[in-house]
Amino acid sequence: MTDLIWLVVAIPLVGAAVNLFLGKRIGEPLSGWIGFGAVAASFLIAVEPMLGFFAGDSEPSTHFLFSWIPVLGVNAELLWDPLSALLTMIVTGVGALIHLYSIGYMHGDERFPRFFSYLNLFIASMLILVLAANYAVMFVGWELVGLSSYLLISFWFTKPTAAAAGKKAFIVNRIGDWGFLVAMMLIFAAFGTFDFDIIFGTAPGVLSVTMATAITLLLFVAAAGKSAQLPLYIWLPDAMEGPTPVSALIHAATMVTAGVFMMARSAVLFELAPVSGGIVATIGAATALLAAVIAVSQRDIKRVLAYSTISQLGYMVLGVGVGAYTAGVFHLTTHAFFKALLFLGAGSVIHAMSGEQDMAKMGGLRKKMPITFFTMGAAWLAISGIFPFSGFWSKDEILAATFAQGGAWYLLWGIGIVVAVLTAFYMTRLFVLTFLGKPRWDADAHPHESPASMTIPLIVLGAFTVSFGLVNTPFRLSFEHFLEPSFHGIPHVEGLTNVLITSLASVTLVVAIAGIVVAWRRYRVDELPVEVGGWWDRALVGFGVDDLYGRWIVAPGRRASELASRADAVVLDGAAHGIATGVRSAGEALKPVQSGRVRTYAGILAVAAVALVVVTVLVGGGF
């Protein structure tokens, strides 16, 4: 079955094409089932070869598709190894469930077939990204993911906020893409190839530390764009302007994991650049902390989840930064389950509340929607890090790996612990406010449980959320062994005794429980605490980072461009303006030199000529 791997990518592509061109004729709900079927088929094709890795009787293999840019030796090749197999399973598995859920959720939308076309394209792009056997193919997937996320976030483009959010995601991701492109150029310059096999096989001998640092930092810029790390995270909270299944897809299974996946894939390079590792870990921890703090204050149920995603991604990046690649990928996996569950659950709630997203107007939904309640409860415990739910194991592993580094890394570990408290706190807040207590609904709300196409995915995801952590406990490292072939012999984090592991795990568990208890006592009351003024307001708007960008980057850019040419306002919005501003002002400063006078030009020509003569003679030793 391994030979059929190309089908995994091809089927969703075909599905996307079918829905794009024939969607109107096929109509609802059949086009939804086609979309779901395509992804499910990919999943089924991938299962059997994946099991081979689990059984330990399969070798990683590359699959040549066609010769793409022969002069650079670039082929369209897919790499089937445990890491890509795992991601394929997540992308197609969780993706299929989200498709199924969307059939119910998008019911009645006039562009229903188009939505499934985009979803399939998204899945296919992500599969190209994870199955790539070289950086060039990966970049294609990377770009396609950016494109399809843009299409999906601004799916309801008539809503101005949705259109703006799509644009924001697109622009911020472009900054990351630049990092990827430059990194690719450096990689090609150093290795003369984009092939993972050759690069990772020869890197320790070929790459100087400086070069490795440069490449990995650029890769991190790219990852920071996709995986929403400081300072490029600003697109993600806005990205929930898209339909909720899209948020689930972006936040859980696909887009945001791309950055972490890419860094894990490049683990060999990161191993060679300790400085990069430090920077990556620090930024990861900082992102986790900032996002967790902001999440505490949010009132919109989806915004809480959005910031929690950023925070959890911070954990994964921290894991990669400290060299615990397996732990990072493990957390990615468990996070994919419980975050998809949370978003779908939130979608179910919003669906039931006829579009209400403010948690202050929910409460007491437990009775009305039991399935959603129970499944989300599992996700709540998992993300809070309660034993033995999946999130506990993966989070603990990252923190333990950080602790094991010692020295200044204790600080990052401390931050991780603080984030764990905060996570437990805000998730409990979300859960209590939504499902428990007295109903605080508007008069015209009639909450009801969602249809089966929406609840079945919740149940399946719930099962994984509860159990998947057991795949890799510190005492049973099957996940680690499974991924081993993908990390080219990078050693596991050492230096942890069983006692230490147990006590660290206990610490994490204790702080998580503490967070839950504090939140429980605060919110499980009849009169909700008033959360306005001072700190709450500032945190609610994300500490005004968007404003800050607006004031320091976007606004001056706007002003300069309005002065120079008003057409430019159309061209660039958002952060990209900041870079442009500096360059533009240089250009404006140079404009007077281009005075239009022939004599000035002749003068500059002559001065330059004399300078060139003098320099040439000096270089050549003629004086």
Partner 1 sequence: MSEVIVFVIFAAVALVGAISMVSARNPVYSAMGLLSTMFSLAVLYVVLDAHLVAAVQVIIYAGAVMTLFLFVIMLIGVDKADAYGRQVPAQRIMTFVVAIGFFAAIALAARSAWITGSGAFGDPEMNGTIEAVSDELFGTWTIVFLSTVMLLTIAAVGTIALAYFGAEVEDEEALL
Partner 2 sequence: MESASLLPVAFEVALLVGALLLLLVAVVAERKASVWGPLVGVTFLLSAVAGLWQWMDVADNGGGLFFSSQNFAIVRSPMVVMDEFSALAAMVLGTVGFVSFLGSWDLQSRLGKRGVEFSVLMLLGVAGLHMMTASPNLVVIFVGLETASIAFYILAGFTRKTRESDESALKYFLLGSLASALFLYGTALTFAATGSLSIYGANSIRNFFADQIVTDPGILLVGLALMLVGLMFKTSAAPFHQWAPDVYQGAPSGAVGLMAAGVKVAGFAALARIFMGGMISQVDIWAPILAVVAALSMIVGTVMALVQDDVKRLLAYSGVAHAGYLLAAIVAGPEGLEALWFYLATYAFMIVGAFTVVSIVNGPGAGPTPISSLKGLASRSSETAWLMAIIMLGMSGMPFFAGFVGKVLAFVAVEEAGYLWLVVVGALTTVIGLVFYLRVVITMFSSETDDSAGVDSLEVSITSRFAVVIAAAVTLTFGVLPWPLLDFVRSAIPF
Partner 3 sequence: MIALAVTTSWYMMLAAALFSIGVAGVLMRRNALVMFMSIELMLNSVNLTFVAVGSDLGLIEGHVAALFVIVVAAAEVTVGLAIIVAVFRKRASADADQLAELRG
**Nearest Cα to Cα of residue 348 among 372, 366, 365:** 372
Give the integer Cα–Cα distance in Å for 422 and 396: 15
Which residue stretch of 14-22, 174-182, 333-341, 461-469 sits at the interface with partner 2 (rule: CB under 8 A)?
A: 174-182
The interface partner of residue 615, options being partner 3, partner 2, partner 1, none and the CB cut-off 5 to 8 Å by kind, is: partner 2
- Report DSSP state, residue 437: S
Q: Is 48 in the site for partner 2 (CB under 8 A)?
A: no
In angstroms and rounded to an integer, the radius of gyration of the C-alpha atoms of the chain is 26
Give the integer Cα–Cα distance in Å for 106 and 113: 10
Block residue for tokens 């991604």 = 313
Helix axes 325-352, 82-105, angle to 10 degrees: 0
Least Å distance, CB 614 to partner 1, is 5
Site for partner 3, residues 547 to 606, rule: CB under 8 A: 591, 594-599, 602-603, 606
How many residues touch partner 2 under the rule CB under 8 A: the total is 52
Least Å distance, CB 606 to partner 1, is 5
**Triad 392, 97, 352: Cα angle to 5°:** 90
Q: Is 181 in the site for partner 2 (CB under 8 A)?
A: yes
Q: Is 446 in the site for partner 1 (CB under 8 A)?
A: no
Least Å distance, CB 570 to partner 1, is 29
Tokens representing 550 are: 């607006």
Question: 574 near 164, Cβ under 8 Å?
Answer: no
Which residue stretch of 45-53, 178-186, 294-302, 414-422 sits at the interface with partner 2 (rule: CB under 8 A)?
A: 178-186
Q: Is 189 in the site for partner 2 (CB under 8 A)?
A: yes
**Helices (H) then strands (E): counts for the chain:** 27, 4
Q: Is 510 in the site for partner 1 (CB under 8 A)?
A: no
**Nearest Cα to Cα of residue 419 among 280, 292, 282:** 292
Is the Cβ of residue 606 or residue 617 nearer to partner 3 in the bound state? 606
**Nearest Cα to Cα of residue 575 among 281, 224, 321, 310:** 224
The interface partner of residue 452, options being partner 1, partner 2, partner 3, none and the CB cut-off 5 to 8 Å by kind, is: none
Q: Is 570 in the site for partner 2 (CB under 8 A)?
A: yes
| DSSP string across 533-596 | SHHHHHHHTGGGHHHHHIIIIIHHHHHHHHHH-TTHHHH--TTHHHHHHHHHHHHHHHGGGS-S
Tokens representing 446 are: 């009639």
Question: 391 near 383, Cβ under 8 Å?
Answer: yes
Site for partner 1, residues 571 to 600, rule: CB under 8 A: 597, 599-600
The interface partner of residue 506, options being partner 1, partner 2, partner 3, none and the CB cut-off 5 to 8 Å by kind, is: none
Question: 232 near 225, Cβ under 8 Å?
Answer: yes
Question: What does the per-residue mask of binding to partner 2 show for 595-614, with x meaning CB under 8 A?
Answer: -x-x--xx-xxx-xx--xx-
Is the Cβ of residue 566 or residue 591 nearer to partner 3 in the bound state? 591
The interface partner of residue 571, options being partner 3, partner 1, partner 2, none and the CB cut-off 5 to 8 Å by kind, is: partner 2
The interface partner of residue 406, options being partner 1, partner 2, partner 3, none and the CB cut-off 5 to 8 Å by kind, is: none
Is the Cβ of residue 598 or residue 619 nearer to partner 3 in the bound state? 598
- Report DSSP state, residue 250: I
Give the integer Cα–Cα distance in Å for 552 and 555: 6
Q: Is 603 in the site for partner 1 (CB under 8 A)?
A: yes
Burial class, 384, CB count within 10 angstroms (exposed 0-12 / middle 13-18 / buried 19+): buried
Least Å distance, CB 611 to partner 1, is 9
Residues at the interface with partner 2 (CB under 8 A) = 69-72, 139-140, 178, 181-182, 185-186, 188-189, 192, 564-565, 567-568, 570-572, 576, 579-580, 583-584, 586-588, 590-591, 593-594, 596, 598, 601-602, 604-606, 608-609, 612-613, 615-617, 619-623
Binding site for partner 3 (CB under 8 A): 591, 594-599, 602-603, 606
Chain positions contacting partner 1, by CB under 8 A: 597, 599-600, 603, 606-607, 609-610, 613-614, 617, 622-623
